[in-house]
């Protein structure tokens, strides 16, 4: 599977090869397989992030981990990021921040008038810059999380040349909780307060019993993704059809 093949051909070959593999085997294979190129893990250090972070610590604790600090995160998330990185022995955690927030959102109110623009400013743009040295990136996205993720595969294209790896794509909520319990991993402190999905503080609310776990993200809007995800080469910021 040479690199001069079209990106979609490479993706199809990778998905075919790893189709029946467990999540950690997909992760290990992607990291060690030169055909996948140089990878980084992008982590929000959110409610379920510790699963993939733990897997990385087992497979290769030197793998670069990108953490986007939007400067609107919960204080609990910032403290959790430091604690988890130390607890797991992750050796290359890189905190990414936008360089022009003061100029484009001086009052910190852009999320109220244009949440898509706020995500683009604080997440998408700095992440895109941070990803430039890499051939692909690893995410913790799962099929059960949202309608736009229902057909998620282990490998997908991110633009014309970069690969995105989703080792936990086929995991269920029960798989996630079992892994955290069995490996005695530290939980994000806000989970116990009713936050099963955690993003920026102004755009995240507690979830009531019976609600979808991601219903607390951008509540009462059509917005479903933060804008750092790509579907068919386009940034997804609203529910996909």
* Mean pLDDT, rounded, for 6-19: 89
CATH 1.20.1260.10 for domain 7-236, yes or no, is no
Residues annotated catalytic, as ranges = 226
* Mean pLDDT, rounded, for 201-212: 83
* Mean pLDDT, rounded, for 183-211: 90
* Mean pLDDT, rounded, for 174-182: 96
| pLDDT higher than 50, residue 107 | yes
Q: How far, in Å, are 70, 83, 167, 198, 230 from residue 75 at the CA level?
A: 12, 12, 28, 12, 28
225 Cβ neighbours under 8 A, 6+ residues apart: 146, 148, 236, 237, 238
> What digits encode the pLDDT tens for the residues 134-172?
999 999 998 877 655 667 899 999 988 899 999 999 999
Q: How far, in Å, are 12, 57, 126, 241 from residue 156 at the CA level?
A: 8, 23, 21, 18
Split at pLDDT 50, 70, 90, the class of 89 is very high
More confident call, 232 vs 84 = 84
């Amino acid at each position: 599977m040479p690199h001069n093949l079209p990106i979609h051909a490479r993706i199809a070959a990778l998905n075919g090869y790893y189709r029946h593999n467990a999540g950690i085997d997909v992760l290990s294979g992607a990291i060690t397989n030169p055909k996948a190129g140089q990878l980084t893990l992008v982590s929000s250090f959110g409610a379920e992030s510790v699963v993939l972070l733990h897997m990385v610590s087992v497979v290769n604790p030197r793998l670069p981990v990108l953490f986007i600090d939007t400067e609107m995160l919960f204080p609990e998330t910032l403290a959790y990021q430091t604690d988890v990185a130390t607890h797991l022995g992750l050796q290359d955690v890189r905190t990414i921040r936008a360089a022009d927030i003061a100029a484009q959102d001086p009052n910190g109110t852009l999320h109220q008038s244009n949440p898509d623009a706020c995500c683009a400013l604080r997440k998408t743009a700095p992440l895109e810059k941070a990803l430039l040295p890499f051939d692909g990136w690893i995410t913790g996205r799962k099929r059960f999380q949202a309608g736009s993720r229902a057909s998620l595969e282990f490998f997908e294209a991110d633009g014309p040349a970069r690969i995105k790896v989703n080792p936990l794509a086929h995991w269920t909520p029960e798989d996630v909780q079992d892994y955290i319990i069995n490996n005695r991993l530290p939980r994000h402190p806000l989970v116990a307060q009713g936050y099963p999905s955690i993003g920026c503080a102004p755009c995240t609310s507690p979830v009531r019993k019976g609600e979808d776990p991601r219903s607390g993200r951008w509540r009462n809007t059509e917005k479903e993704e933060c804008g750092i995800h790509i579907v068919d080469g386009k940034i997804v910021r609203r529910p996909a059809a």
